[in-house]
Amino acid sequence: MNIISSRCVKIREVTRVTPFFDSTASTNDNPLPSTALALTYFDTKWFKFPPVQRLFFYRNQTSDTDSIRFNSEILPQLKHSLSLALLHYLPLAGHIMWPELEPKPAVYYFPDQKCDGVSFVVAESSDADFDRVSGDGIREAAEYHPLVPQFSITEDKAEVIAIQITLFPNQGFSIGVSAHHAVLDGKSTTLFIKSWAYLCKQLKLQQQQQQQEQTYLPPELTPCFDRTVVKDPDGIDLIYLKHWMSGSSSNRRSLNVMPVKPENYYSNLVRMTFELNREDINKLRDKVNEVLYSTQGGAQYLSSFVITCAHVFVWLVKARDVEANTTVRFVITTDCRSRLDPPIPANYFGNCTGGEFGEAKASGFMQENGFAFVAHKLSDLIKGIKRGAVLGSEDEFLNGMAKMREAQQLKISVAGSNRFDVYGSDFGWGRPEKVEVVSIDTTGAISLAETRDGCGGFEIGVVLEKQQMEVFASLFVDALKDL
C-alpha cells in the first residue's frame, strides 16, 4: 500500500488564473459592485474559521491521463474554463481586506485585467494507488493534505479560494479546493465548482466541434451577489465581528484565522466512507417508529437526514467509548436561503447558514433504544427552526459555539449536504469517482453527500482514531444487518 505524503507529491507549477477578459467575452446580465463585495452577518459569523477543503477525484478515461495528454489537453482546458468561470465569479479572484476607515472587512477585486486571480497549483503523485485513495476503505487522514492547496492568509490580506490539480499518471486526477469560510458556504462552493465544470465540458465539446466559445451559464448556475436581500437592521454583522475581535490580543483587525492542528496531530487519524441507501433509511425509519409507537403511543415523520445523522451519531458515541455522564454536544447546520422572510434566491452566493445546537448525556446514546432517542431529539431540534427566525439568533449561536469549545465533552457536527449534488460536477471526463471534505479531520465533523448512484442515499465521511474507526465500522455495518 503506497501512502500519499508530501514527499511523493511533486509540485510542477504554481501560477495564478485570472478572469478571461477580451472584447468578445460576455457574461450573464448579473450586476456586481464595482470593486467590493460586502460581508453579511452570515459571513462574519464564520470570520475566523479555517478554510474548508474539498477534493474531487476523476478516474482515467482510456488514456486521457497519461502525462503528455494531461499536460497538452486536460490541463489547458481546466485552466481556460476556470478563467471563463471567474468572469461570473469575479470576487473569487480578489482578496478579503479590512481598510482602516471601514467598519468591517469586504472582498475587494478589480472587474478588469487588474484582477488578482486565483492561486492554481499543478502537482503529480506518481506512486499513489488512485483506486485506494479515491475509495471508501480505510485511509490515513493526513494522506489528503498534499492534495489540497495551501491558503495565503496574512493579517492584512486573505485569499478567497485556491485550486490544486494533482495528476495520478494513467489513473486519474484530483481537484483540490480550499475556500475561505467567511465568503463561501458549502452550497456556494459547489455552485462555483459546478459552473466551472459546466464551462469546461462545453469548452471541450466546442473544441471538438470547432465551434465558437460560449461563456454563458444557465440560470441555475448563475450566482446572485445581491447583498440587499439579506436584511440586517440591528447590525448583527458587527456583533459577530466584535466577538472575533475580542479574542485578538494585538491587531484586532487581523485577518488570520484560528490555527489548525499541527501535522503530528493527524498521525493516528484515519478516514472511511460509509453509505446508507434508500432501503436502509426506510428500514431504520421503521425501526425508530416502532420504538416511538410503543413508548409514546404514536409514530412521527422522520426525514432521511435525521435518520442518517442519528444512525451515525449513536455509533460515534459508542465507538469513542466515553463515560455515560459525558455531555455530548452536537450542531446541525441548516441552509437559510428558503427560511428568510422573504426567501432569497437559491443561487445566492455567500454564506447563508444557521446552526442549531443540541446536547444530551452519552447515556442517552448508549441505551438500548439510543437510536430512537437521538432521532427524536434531532427531529425536534430541526422542527424548532422557523421561517424568518434567523435574525435575533446571534446570542444563541455564539453561546452554542462557546459550549462546543469546552473541554471534557464530546462534540459532533455535520459538514456538507446530500442536496448539493457534488457528484454532478462533470468537467467533461465523467462524474467524480469520489468527493471528500478533507477539513473534517481538523473540525471533527462528519461529512454528508448524496450517493454516487443518485438513488436517494447518503454518503458519510468519518474521521476517527484507528481503533475507534474499527469499532465504528463494525457497529455501523452490523446494525444494518440486523434490520
Give the residue numbers annotated as catalytic, written as ranges.
Answer: 181, 426
Contact assessment for residue 277 and residue 81, using Cβ atoms and an 8 Å cutoff: no
Neighbours of 262 (CB within 10 A): 8
Contacts 24+ apart (CB under 8 A), 258-267: 258/48, 258/49, 258/50, 259/50, 260/50, 260/442, 261/442, 263/142, 263/145, 266/140, 266/141, 266/142, 266/145, 266/441, 267/142
Q: Which residues of 355-373 are buried (b: 16+ CB within 10 A; e: fewer)?
A: bbbbbbebbbbeeebbbbb
CA angle (270, 274, 276) in 5-degree steps: 165
Distance CA 333, CA 358 (A): 12
Distance from C-alpha of 328 to C-alpha of 322, rounded to nearest angstrom: 10
Q: Which three cell numbers stand for residue 266?
A: 493527524
> Exposed (0-12), middle (13-18) or buried (19+): which is 226, by Cβ within 10 Å?
middle
Tally of residues, the chain: 483
